[in-house]
Structure 1
Amino acid sequence: MKKVIYKFSAVVLMGSLLFSSCTKDFTEINTDPNGTPTALPEQLMAPALVGTLGYNMLRNRNFNNELMQVTVDASDAEGKVFRYDYRATWADYLYNGLYSELTNFKDMYKVANQQLTFNKSYKGISVICQSWIYSILTDTYGDIPYSQSNEARDSAIYEPAFDAQKDIYMDIFDKLDSANTWLSAGTAISANSDPVYGGAVANWRKFGNSLYLRLLLRVSGKPEMTEFCKARIKKVVETYPIMASNAESAILRWTGVGPLSSPYIGVREQDFRAPGIASYFIDNLSSWNDPRIDIPTYGTSSINRWGIAPYSGSYQGIPSGYAPGENPVKKCYFYSNTSAVSLMTEPMTGMMMNYAELKFILAECAIRGWITGSAETYYNDGAQNSITLWLPNWTVPIKDFLTAADIEWDEKLSFDDKMERIHKQKYYALFLTDMQQWFEYRRTGHPILPKGAGLKNGGVMPARMTYPVYVQSTNPTNYKLAVARQGADQISTQVWWQKP
């Protein structure tokens, strides 16, 4: 990551709206010029979306991808994420960044709710985006400031309480219900303010309800939540509009013009291509003859759709979690020439939630018996749309592709084997989507990842990031209460929805 990113993180740290105990010149120091209450909702929306995607994408690249065996930043140094070993300093960047963008979305809501600027659609979109961000924060850290967060400027709350994760989720569900109602009115918004859907309010409503399903499924494994989640999932699927095609996926498509330039452009080319592709990620795609890494189907370029550079005409990865001293040779990597096919300039890397993910959510709900419909159909639709999102002209019948790859649906499989089949495909559908691969693995244990001899943390997938170190000194009372309720501030402490 470029040094400028770390410098920016330090600036955010010094000016945190959440935890600063110094009140001198607070308004001047801690007010985002893009997020002031005098700005209109249409002025706040695009910068907040761009900023949020920037934080998500960079942590997806160097944290999620390393844990989830997409890449391996090969080294024998201490603190390598691919070995389940990371320092407390990893926590600051995402925590500071996402809370700073919440200020903008909260201001967007406040202004949209005022009499002179009242707009139900901007209110609903703001609530959806806040729910999206808070879900990432709580799934990353566990209990977090929620009901009192971002209140330093307006309410002088400099040491916010940490809400229990269950309470956060329950409030998010209520807010997503409200957003669905507000957006049902179809109140127009400015197309120029919306880099995700170009002003299509109906698509925001569908995204909000699809996100609702993601989050209901996330906590459905808790015994006290199962019946509640089953009922809500059934209600959303049967009565709320949800995504119906790839075109309705929530993706901020980078244009490369002005502020809509991918955050990956800020990564040095040599740093972008430094991590090798992990064996798990590339071996599956290669064995399936997956078209997303099939060179001939992508014009005359020598690089495939995902910008993975082949090695001597084939795809070979690095085993993740290898022991120090083994020193495997990096072979395949993500191409970094910005003048060619590369994720550095790819428009679709601004991934929030795609249609294929929704289909795999429905497939899991179907095998659990929570909704009607065919799990096989949902699974096939998910696999097909996962591919055609990237290759819209791909026309191979999905059943033929899945059968040839020996990953077709089989109703005779055990429940666990069906979960493995669904989640192996979902893993690829979640490629580039913040840290959803990591969250889903922690929830389900799928897909089954190989374990190298060099793994730390007892060989167990880390359950969370620790809280930023500065929180212990700037919000000590509430920090201690959170740790006493949740457990030790360690990467091995499970968050509420993970605990049996």
Structure 2
Amino acid sequence: MKMKNLYTFLLIGASTLALGSCSKFEEINTNPETTNVVTPAMIATRVIVNMANQPSQKAFMMPYLLNKNIVWTEFVESYQYNGGFNSGQLNFTSINDLASMVKFAPTEKLAKSYEGLMYFSRALKFFNTTMDLGDIPYAEALKGESDKNYFPKYDTQKDVLLGVLKELELADKAFSEGENFSGDPIYKGNTTSWRKLTNSFMLHVLIQLSKKESDADLNIKSRFRTIVSNKPIFASNSDNYELKRANKSGQLYPFYKVGNNFTIYPIISSEIIEPLKSREDRRLFFYANPSEKRIAEGKSPAAFDAYAGIDPSLPFDVVTSIKNTKDFSKLNNRYLDIPTGEPTQQLSYAQLCLVIAEAATRGWIADQPVDWYKKGIQASMEFIQTNTPNAEGYTHGMPLSNDYIASHVQKMGSKFPTATEARIEEIITEKYLASFLQSEFMTYYDYRRTGFPKWKINPSTSLNSEAPTKIPVRWKYPAVENNYNSQHLDEAVKRQFNGTDDINQLIWLLK
């Protein structure tokens, strides 16, 4: 056989073999243990977990350095010293396929439920992003696939927040017209629970707009009153927007000790320790371990003065020298020892009660502020009580019994201030204490809005070089925006900050 004929024969044979094999290709390359069809429930699960989850190990602790919950002793961390604001997040890929949940829903009622989840998820994402940066793309965001708009303009923060409030209203309406849906690891698809979350989150958004309470377009007071009076909102800790952890890979408590090389570095801040001690608040014994030095000197783990925090604004070498004396409080062992830990919250009933207490103090509603203030403290304590094993190593002999909670709440109510500003300071302080290692940056947002709690700032250690006596009030826009959307970014920076992307200049809602 000549070489050319041989080549032709082999080529034809190979082609015939390939054609004969095509019919089996899909069968061979199909995994029988996975689905090949995307369902609304699958998208819902991914979206909900993405919204509610928090990072693990060291990354989990970073917001709580900025919030002054924790002092870090590995080396200097920017957030502890008011740095780290050089690049915020401006990425909406986690919500770019929300409409597919609605499109592929098998019934009209399920479509309404997934529509509610779509609107809520959008509102949450856009709210968190504008809280960090200021003006952001909104009306033209996520239009790359549908409209080929890859360079969206930036909307003013006011317009973004008006849009957020509108989408939350649409979410509540859609959930009210829907039915229980699949794919929800938090509320098991219960639409009433999602309505409670949607309306409670709207109250959270409105309180963050407290400096704009006279803005007629926002209509903050009326919106707030309507929700509290007529809409379902959180009514107990069972409504909390939280992820319950499991002793399974990927579902463990974020700071669980196994495989975690960072458990030796966090120390409880004096900003947490001191107000708990001054209030004789037993949450101290559940947040912290006693000072080894003070225990060695004869103090009881059940004594308030056995606990010592470190001022997070101290120079790092001073922090490490204090650590060497062992006169400090580590994290309570429950955060490290228990695989499931406690549920991680994004919004809790305790926080909501204190939001409403603040609104009542500001005169937005007729309710007595002290009543909601007391409910907030009680809910925080009951959450810890429920989620902590009754073991000496976790309670230090000072359990959060029902009798103690009732007496402490009554005591705090009797001391509730009379002056408006003092009331707001007390409410924000209690909200801060109720948010220990919870809700990421929430207490930072309250601080920059109200100035409370009055965290210590040390100009000699501050990494905020342009304003060392202040904590920055925003993050810079991510550098990638300069590369791909510079025209619209420049317009937004000029409109807000006179052309300088400055971490110390106020965004609209803070003016």
Whether TM-score is above 0.5 comes out as yes
**CA 1:60–1:210 in 2, change beyond 3 Å: closer, same or farther?**
farther
**CA 1:151–1:434 in 2, change beyond 3 Å: closer, same or farther?**
farther
Q: Determine the C-alpha separation between the residues in 2 that align with 1:146 and 1:272.
A: 40
What does residue range 87-486 of structure 1 map to in structure 2 within 5 Å?
A: 88-89=86-87, 91=88, 94-96=89-91, 99-112=92-105, 119-190=111-182, 193-222=183-212, 224-225=214-215, 228-257=219-248, 259-264=250-255, 269-294=260-285, 304=286, 306=287, 308-312=288-292, 313=295, 314-323=306-315, 325-327=317-319, 328-330=321-323, 331-334=328-331, 340-341=337-338, 345-349=340-344, 351-392=345-386, 394-396=401-403, 398=405, 400-402=407-409, 407-410=412-415, 413-431=418-436, 432-453=438-459, 454-455=461-462, 456=464, 457-486=467-496
Q: Determine the C-alpha separation between the residues in 1 that align with 2:56 and 2:371.
A: 31
**CA 1:439–1:38 in 2, change beyond 3 Å: closer, same or farther?**
farther
Structure 1, gaps ≥5 residues long:
1-36, 295-303
**CA 1:81–1:66 in 2, change beyond 3 Å: closer, same or farther?**
same
Letter in 2 for 1:333: K
**CA 1:357–1:318 in 2, change beyond 3 Å: closer, same or farther?**
same
- State the secondary structure of the residue aligned to 1:334: coil
1:262 Cα deviation from its structure 2 partner: 4.3
**CA 1:372–1:223 in 2, change beyond 3 Å: closer, same or farther?**
closer
Output the aligned Cα RMSD. Answer: 3.0
**CA 1:87–1:171 in 2, change beyond 3 Å: closer, same or farther?**
closer
Moved more, 154-163 or 379-388: 154-163
Do the aligned partners of 1:252 and 1:348 also contact (CA within 8 Å) in 2?
Answer: yes
Moved more, 433-442 or 180-189: 180-189
1:358 Cα deviation from its structure 2 partner: 1.1
Q: Determine the C-alpha separation between the residues in 2 that align with 1:217 and 1:87.
A: 24
Do the aligned partners of 2:120 and 2:168 also contact (CA within 8 Å) in 1?
Answer: yes
1:241 Cα deviation from its structure 2 partner: 0.9
Do the aligned partners of 2:135 and 2:156 also contact (CA within 8 Å) in 1?
Answer: yes
**CA 1:126–1:320 in 2, change beyond 3 Å: closer, same or farther?**
same
Do the aligned partners of 1:54 and 1:263 also contact (CA within 8 Å) in 2?
Answer: no
Letter in 1 for 2:122: Q
**CA 1:80–1:318 in 2, change beyond 3 Å: closer, same or farther?**
same
1:490 aligns with 2:502: yes
Do the aligned partners of 1:60 and 1:433 also contact (CA within 8 Å) in 2?
Answer: no
- State the secondary structure of the residue aligned to 2:51: helix
- State the secondary structure of the residue aligned to 1:384: helix
Do the aligned partners of 2:208 and 2:449 also contact (CA within 8 Å) in 1?
Answer: yes
Moved more, 376-385 or 484-493: 484-493
1:68 Cα deviation from its structure 2 partner: 1.9
Structure of larger gyration radius: 2
1:291 Cα deviation from its structure 2 partner: 3.0
**CA 1:118–1:340 in 2, change beyond 3 Å: closer, same or farther?**
closer
Q: TM-score normalized by structure 1?
A: 0.80
1:446 Cα deviation from its structure 2 partner: 1.4
Which residue of the partner structure matches residue 32 of structure 1?
none
How many residue pairs align between the two structures?
439
Letter in 2 for 1:285: L
Q: Determine the C-alpha separation between the residues in 1 that align with 2:427 and 2:158.
A: 26
Q: Determine the C-alpha separation between the residues in 1 that align with 2:146 and 2:128.
A: 24
Do the aligned partners of 2:351 and 2:431 also contact (CA within 8 Å) in 1?
Answer: yes
Q: Determine the C-alpha separation between the residues in 2 that align with 1:95 and 1:293.
A: 37
1:389 Cα deviation from its structure 2 partner: 1.2
Q: Determine the C-alpha separation between the residues in 2 that align with 1:45 and 1:266.
A: 30
Q: TM-score normalized by structure 2?
A: 0.78
Q: Determine the C-alpha separation between the residues in 2 that align with 1:348 and 1:265.
A: 13
Deviations 1:258-278 (A, max 9, x none): 553445469952324413221
Letter in 2 for 1:290: D
Do the aligned partners of 1:68 and 1:437 also contact (CA within 8 Å) in 2?
Answer: yes
Deviations 1:276-325 (A, max 9, x none): 2211112222343433343xxxxxxxxx4x4x333224321211112355
1:49 Cα deviation from its structure 2 partner: 2.2
What does residue range 39-58 of structure 1 map to in structure 2 within 5 Å?
A: 39-55=38-54
Deviations 1:72-96 (A, max 9, x none): 224775x62211122625x3xx544
**CA 1:111–1:493 in 2, change beyond 3 Å: closer, same or farther?**
farther
Do the aligned partners of 1:270 and 1:336 also contact (CA within 8 Å) in 2?
Answer: no
**CA 1:495–1:61 in 2, change beyond 3 Å: closer, same or farther?**
farther
Do the aligned partners of 1:283 and 1:315 also contact (CA within 8 Å) in 2?
Answer: no
- State the secondary structure of the residue aligned to 1:459: coil
